[in-house]
Amino acid sequence: MPKFATQVLGTNSEAVGQAATMLRGGGLVAFPTETVYGLGADATQDHAVARIFEAKGRPSFNPLIVHVAEVSALKHLVQWSDAAQAVADAFWPGPLTLVLPLRAGAAISKLVTAGLPTLAVRIPAHPVARAFLASFGGPVAAPSANRSGQMSPTRAAHVTADLSGRIEAVVDGGRCGVGLESTILGLAGVPTLLRPGAVTEDALARVLGRAVAQRQDTETLSAPGQMLSHYAPAAGVRLNALDWREDEARLGFGAVDCDLNLSETGDLTEAAANLFEYLHQLDARGAPVIAVSPVPHRGLGVAINDRLSRAAAPR
């Protein structure tokens, strides 16, 4: 693929405006959100969206999330509903993606939806992301800014290490606060949790006034982040390690002796924020395997364990 001189931009209004101009010209720009860095392209331009798949080495059957600055920008893209309004009121802007029926005639590249009759949409909370989206003034397709299947980036340096020369620019907004990709809720039929994240199943159920169905991994892909092998470092990953083996890098949780600890106090929010950062750091040490302590499967731990199980899956 062509090589680009990838620029690292700041977050002032001039830099954000420069990034938006790049997007209008069909360029690719990585930008920070509260979850992870996204790799943005103009969602209305087929060629620009195709470049996302090329830069990431992403399968074309894997749909993308469209980011916008305001709910009003979504209503001509998707079929809005009372349920969508309820969860939007509760959790947007924030780390939640909704999958809704695509509106007929919506000006969205068919590559974004991967041929599905639905569209994944989100309004991020990160102030730099919101300024960037507002400056661009249109829908931005943005998966995580990393090579397909590999660890998600929570710093601009992670983006440049993976995609330098493949994209025009990255807006350096510092470290992402949440550190895990957004929760994805399907609202094209029965409300269904398509990917766990910081907005938990219980929180969604309270707002919707009903239980949320669960997607099975054997079902056809309907949203990003559902491939069985995903989020993987170069090293192998051994889960639920109660002891350490020779030559392993040790990723702990709670009161354990280890190389890096997701949270010594057992704080799941802290653990989520540290997960990809620490996987990147341990992977850079070159150990053949990263062993990970058990993480409780409750609350945000459900999302952490989802990412870890996909990182550990056969490749």
Task: For 104-116, write each residue's pLDDT tens digit.
Answer: 999 999 999 988 9
User: Mean pLDDT score of the chain, rounded to an integer?
Assistant: 93
* Alpha-carbon distance values, 131 to 12, 70, 247 (Å): 10, 11, 45
Answer yes or no: do 173 and 262 share one domain: no
- Within a domain: 295: yes
- State the pLDDT at residue 17: 98
Task: Give the CATH number, domain containing residue 77.
Answer: 3.90.870.10
Half-sphere CA count of 15, side-chain side, radius 13 A: 16
| Integer Cα distance of 128 and 7 in angstroms | 17
- Within a domain: 259: yes
Answer yes or no: do 147 and 208 share one domain: yes
- State the pLDDT at residue 223: 61
| Integer Cα distance of 124 and 93 in angstroms | 5
- State the pLDDT at residue 212: 96
- Within a domain: 223: no
- State the pLDDT at residue 117: 94
**155, 182, 214: which is the final residue of a domain?**
214
pLDDT exceeds cutoff 70 at 224: no
- Within a domain: 222: no
> If you average pLDDT over residues 210-233, what whole number do you get?
71
Q: What percent of the chain has pLDDT over 70?
A: 95
- State the pLDDT at residue 218: 54
**184, 214, 244: which is the final residue of a domain?**
214
Residue 101 confidence class, pLDDT cut points 50, 70, 90: very high
> If you average pLDDT over residues 134-144, what whole number do you get?
97
- Within a domain: 44: yes
- State the pLDDT at residue 261: 98
- Within a domain: 228: no
Which tokens sit at 260? 């890096």
User: For 60-100, how does the pLDDT look when each residue is reduced to its tens digit (9 = 90+)?
Assistant: 778 999 999 999 999 999 999 999 999 999 999 999 999 99
Does the CA dihedral 103-97-240-283 come out positive or negative?
positive
Answer yes or no: do 37 and 144 share one domain: yes
Q: What percent of the chain has pLDDT over 90?
A: 87
Half-sphere CA count of 303, side-chain side, radius 13 A: 31
Answer yes or no: do 48 and 184 share one domain: yes
DSSP tag of 71: G
DSSP-assigned states of every residue in 156-168: HHHHHHHHTTTSS
pLDDT exceeds cutoff 60 at 202: yes
| Integer Cα distance of 155 and 277 in angstroms | 8
Indicate the length of the chain as a whole number.
315
Answer yes or no: do 271 and 127 share one domain: no
- Within a domain: 61: yes
- State the pLDDT at residue 4: 74
Residue 221 confidence class, pLDDT cut points 50, 70, 90: low
Answer yes or no: do 73 and 208 share one domain: yes
- State the pLDDT at residue 206: 97
| Integer Cα distance of 160 and 163 in angstroms | 5
> If you average pLDDT over residues 189-209, what whole number do you get?
96
Residue (of 298, 258, 297, 301) closest to 278 by Cα position: 258
* Alpha-carbon distance values, 301 to 49, 97, 158 (Å): 33, 19, 24
- State the pLDDT at residue 227: 56
pLDDT exceeds cutoff 60 at 220: no
Which helix (H) or strand (E) is 255 found in, with range? none
Answer yes or no: do 81 and 198 share one domain: yes
| Integer Cα distance of 52 and 31 in angstroms | 14
φ and ψ at residue 177, rounded to 5 degrees = -75, -45
Answer yes or no: do 190 and 247 share one domain: no
**160, 182, 214: which is the final residue of a domain?**
214
- State the pLDDT at residue 225: 58
| Number of domains making up the chain | 2
**Could you tell me if 34 and 178 are in contact, meaning their C-beta atoms sit under 8 angstroms apart?**
yes
Answer yes or no: do 78 and 189 share one domain: yes
Residues spanned by the domain of 264:
236-312
Task: Give the CATH number, domain containing residue 262.
Answer: 3.40.50.11030
> If you average pLDDT over residues 143-150, what whole number do you get?
91
Which helix (H) or strand (E) is 192 found in, with range? strand 192-195
**Could you tell me if 204 and 191 are in contact, meaning their C-beta atoms sit under 8 angstroms apart?**
yes
Answer yes or no: do 113 and 210 share one domain: yes
Name the burial class of residue 54, with classes exposed (0-12), middle (13-18) and buried (19+) by CB atoms within 10 angstroms of its CB: middle
> If you average pLDDT over residues 116-132, what whole number do you get?
97
> Residue 173's Cα: distance from chain center in Å?
16
Cβ-based neighbours of 26, under 8 Å, separated by 6 or more = 41, 42, 45, 47, 48, 51
Rounded to two decimals, the pTM is 0.91
Answer yes or no: do 165 and 279 share one domain: no
Answer yes or no: do 96 and 198 share one domain: yes
Higher-pLDDT residue of 217, 302: 302
- Within a domain: 226: no
φ and ψ at residue 139, rounded to 5 degrees = -75, 135
Among 30-34, 56-60, 304-308, the minimum mean pLDDT is found in 56-60
